[in-house]
Amino acid sequence: MSEELQDRVCTPCRGGIPPLARAEAEAMLSRVPGWELADEASCLVRRYEFGDFAEALAFVQRLGAVAEEQGHHPDIAFGWGWATVSWQTKKIRGLHENDFIMAARTDALLAGRR
Ligand SMILES: C[C@H](O)[C@H](O)[C@H]1CNC2=NC(N)=NC(=O)C2=N1
């Protein structure tokens, strides 16, 4: 697949399909360097660092806008100088290709910064 993950859009997931198996998720991980599998390979997690609280908050707000646009929403924790983002497809309580697309889109928000 030559197309960049970050350029792809989420497809609706209404449930009724199995989540990606651990081996499938592990194979996809190489496409989103910096992200890790967590909670028995049911979600994708990455921590980001920022210069101060305002930068972290601005990132969270931009990510929220992308999530609304794509109809797929992360769990986010953040504080002074940091944000931790977690992607999971809640409908299937596990990972879907959409989560990898959104992980790549999350990184793309900060492209050029690192
Ligand atoms: C109808 C709507 O597309 C769904 O409720 C979406 C909204 N955002 C979502 N976000 C995430 N992370 N998982 C979902 O299953 C999900 N479902």
- Per-residue confidence of the chain (114 residues) as pLDDT tens digits? 447 999 999 999 999 999 999 999 999 999 999 999 999 999 999 999 999 999 999 999 999 999 999 999 999 999 999 999 999 999 999 999 999 999 999 999 999 775
Best of 17, 45, 72 for a ligand 1 pocket test (most atoms within 8 Å of beta carbon): 72
List the beta strands (DSSP E) in 1-114.
36-38, 43-49, 75-79, 82-87
For residue 83, list its beta bridge partners: 48, 78
**All structural domains of the chain:** 25-109 (3.30.1360.20)
Cα(51) to centroid of ligand 1, in Å? 31
Q: Is the ipTM value over 0.90, yes or no? A: yes
pTM of the prediction?
A: 0.95
CA 91 to ligand 1: nearest atom? 15
